[in-house]
């Protein structure tokens, strides 16, 4: 989607035909829950297996490891998943019933994102994600109430500062995954760290951008985290066989020195596992970025969509909402009066 597409005026019907793809939102939420729960189950399984191994070595150390495992589960799974769930996403898949509401909602979300970026830059001294120049433009746009200036400043921030920082986040997490899984030589430890670092990467990127992908997109990301975990679990045997084959092809000279052959086999195995796991983490990171920028571009396009009688429809929606509130209050008052009468 080019800048020309973003600025182009189109009707709601044209937007729907080109960008809206109907999907079952309830099903998307269900899959998001299922895949999210599956990640949690994988983490619990790995932690339990590690604790059991420690318990077999030493009973007291095993009890301590169980307590640590509970804390790890809370901090690396429960808290990140809750934060991801609570983070808002743009409304871009719209129809005639919710298009006006979506445009207002997206405008408010853009303002919230800008406020958060400004707040982080001012209060978080240890975080330097957004440059002073970009934050200054966001602050001026918010103070003047200039929505177009705010959109321009946000777009510029995403294309420069956010892009740079997100790439660094992906590289750092991928490096950690690669080094950890290369050194561990244990499929359960590998699987655990792949889940932990991938989930942490998704959370960090989304926090950086200030919004999350929609439920369907996030479910796809979670599904790939599960796939990476499964690959990490089965990678030991695959890379071990590959390493043995490489050592054999290096010649008979190593056959007479079994220690060197075994060590070389382990090194090749470790490097292969680390490289594959780090590459999969990179793909998770860029998939998350891709979905975020897609949603951001779509909400920009939607903002320029012409909706017939938008102002009149907006008033009708506002009146309808007020009526709903009045009906609720009247119902409560009626119930109170009914109880009072019955008591008397």
Q: Whole-angstrom Cα distance, residue 295 to residue 164? A: 19
SS3 288: helix
> What is the residue range of 75's domain?
3-17+24-308
Q: What is the pLDDT of residues 239-265, one digit of tens each?
A: 444 434 433 444 444 445 454 444 445
Residue 144 lies in a domain: yes
- Region 274-296: what's the mean pLDDT? 94
- Residue 33 near residue 218 (C-beta atoms within 8 A): no
Residue 341 lies in a domain: no
Residues 6+ apart with CB under 8 A from 5: 297, 301
How many domains is the chain partitioned into structurally?
1
Q: Please give the DSSP secondary-structure letter assigned to residue 211.
A: S
Q: What is the pLDDT of residues 5-37, one digit of tens each?
A: 556 678 888 888 888 877 788 899 999 999 999
Residues 6+ apart with CB under 8 A from 212: 84, 87, 88, 89, 206, 218, 292
Residue 326 lies in a domain: no
Residue 324 lies in a domain: no
255, burial (CB in 10 Å: exposed 0-12, middle 13-18, buried 19+) = exposed
Which pair of tokens denotes residue 149?
Answer: 């200036």
pLDDT at 317: 56
Q: Which residue, chain included where needed, has tokens 């075994």?
A: 262
Q: What is the pLDDT of residues 160-172, one digit of tens each?
A: 999 999 999 999 9
Residue 300 lies in a domain: yes
SS3 305: strand
Residue 87 lies in a domain: yes
Residue 342 lies in a domain: no
Q: Band of the pLDDT at 79, cuts 50, 70, 90? A: very high
Positive or negative, the CA dihedral 204, 208, 212, 217 is negative
Residue 99 lies in a domain: yes
């Amino acid at each position: 989607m080019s800048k020309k597409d973003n600025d182009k005026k189109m009707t709601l019907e044209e937007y729907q035909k080109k960008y809206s793809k109907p999907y079952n939102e309830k099903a998307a939420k269900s899959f998001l829950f299922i895949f999210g729960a599956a990640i949690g189950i994988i983490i619990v399984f790995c932690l339990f297996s590690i604790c059991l191994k420690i318990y077999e070595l030493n009973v007291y150390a095993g009890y301590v490891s169980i307590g640590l495992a509970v804390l790890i589960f809370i901090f690396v799974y429960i808290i990140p998943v809750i934060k991801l769930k609570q983070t808002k996403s743009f409304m871009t898949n719209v129809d005639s019933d919710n298009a006006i509401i979506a445009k207002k909602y997206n405008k408010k979300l853009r303002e919230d994102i800008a406020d958060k970026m400004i707040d982080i830059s001012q209060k978080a001294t240890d975080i330097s994600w957004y440059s002073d120049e970009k934050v200054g433009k966001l602050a001026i746009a918010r103070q003047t109430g200039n929505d177009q200036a705010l959109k321009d400043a946000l777009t510029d921030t995403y294309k420069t500062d956010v892009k740079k920082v997100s790439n660094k986040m992906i590289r750092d997490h991928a490096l950690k995954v690669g080094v950890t899984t290369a050194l561990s030589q244990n499929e359960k430890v590998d699987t655990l760290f792949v889940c932990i670092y991938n989930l942490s990467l998704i959370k960090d990127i989304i926090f950086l951008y200030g919004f999350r992908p929609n439920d369907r997109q996030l479910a796809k990301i979670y599904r790939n985290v599960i796939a990476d975990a499964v690959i990490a679990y089965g990678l030991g045997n695959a890379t071990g066989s590959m390493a043995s084959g490489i050592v054999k092809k290096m010649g008979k000279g190593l056959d007479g020195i079994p220690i060197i052959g075994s060590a070389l086999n382990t090194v090749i195995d470790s490097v292969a596992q680390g490289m594959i796991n780090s590459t999969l983490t990179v793909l998770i990171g860029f998939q998350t970025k891709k979905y975020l920028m897609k949603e951001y571009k779509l909400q920009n396009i939607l903002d320029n969509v012409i909706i017939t009688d938008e102002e009149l429809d907006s008033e009708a929606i506002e009146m309808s909402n007020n009526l709903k509130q009045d009906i609720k209050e009247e119902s409560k008052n009626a119930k109170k009066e009914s109880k009072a009468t019955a008591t008397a």
